[in-house]
Amino acid sequence: MRDDNCIFCKIANGEIPSKTIYEDEMFRVILDLGPAAKGHALILPKDHYKDLYELPENTASHVMLLAKKMAAQMTDKLHCDGFNLVQNNGETAGQTVMHFHMHLIPRYKNDNQKIGWTPGEPSQEELEEIRNQITG
């Protein structure tokens, strides 16, 4: 289940070298070439899934277990002050490489990075309408 035209397939399966910080049968974890902060890493499944929608449940559950394990190790070794997990799906959401990946981003008190959004101010009625749309 690999895509010959996908750079993350090639990296995950070792055809293109990377700074690997963890590997098992299902995943490779590599340092991001354009880090938001020191130690920014990516969990890559070795099989090709475009995004979260395509990811099988079993792989999805293992991604979160691995994210937790990596966050603990990286926090211990890098002495970061906080940690973001980021996972983008679709160009609109900021996904630039169309092979599922989870960002592991150590955060430091003075890293001057912003990972966030401008909060909206929905009314209770609007929230209720959205709730109904999602659950209806």
Tokens of residue 63, six digits: 């991604």
Q: In this complex, which beta carbon is closest to Zn ion, that of residue 16 or of residue 127?
A: 16
The question of whether 103 is a catalytic residue gets the answer no
Q: Site residues (CB under 6 A) for ligand 5GP?
A: 7, 18, 30, 32-34, 42, 88, 94-97
Q: How many CA atoms lie within 13 A of 105 on its CB side?
A: 17
Q: Give the neighbor-by-neighbor strand order of the sheet with 82-86.
A: 20-23, 27-31, 41-45, 102-107, 82-86
**Distance in Å, CB of 122 to ligand 5GP, minimum:** 27
Q: Which does 9 bind (CB under 5 to 8 A by kind): ligand 5GP, Zn ion, none?
A: Zn ion
Q: Which does 28 bind (CB under 5 to 8 A by kind): Zn ion, ligand 5GP, none?
A: none
CA gap 60, 48 in Å, rounded: 13
Of the candidates 69, 71, 105, the one whose C-alpha atom is nearest the C-alpha of residue 86 is 105
Site residues for Zn ion per CB under 5 A: 3, 6, 8-9, 48, 99
Residues marked as catalytic: 101
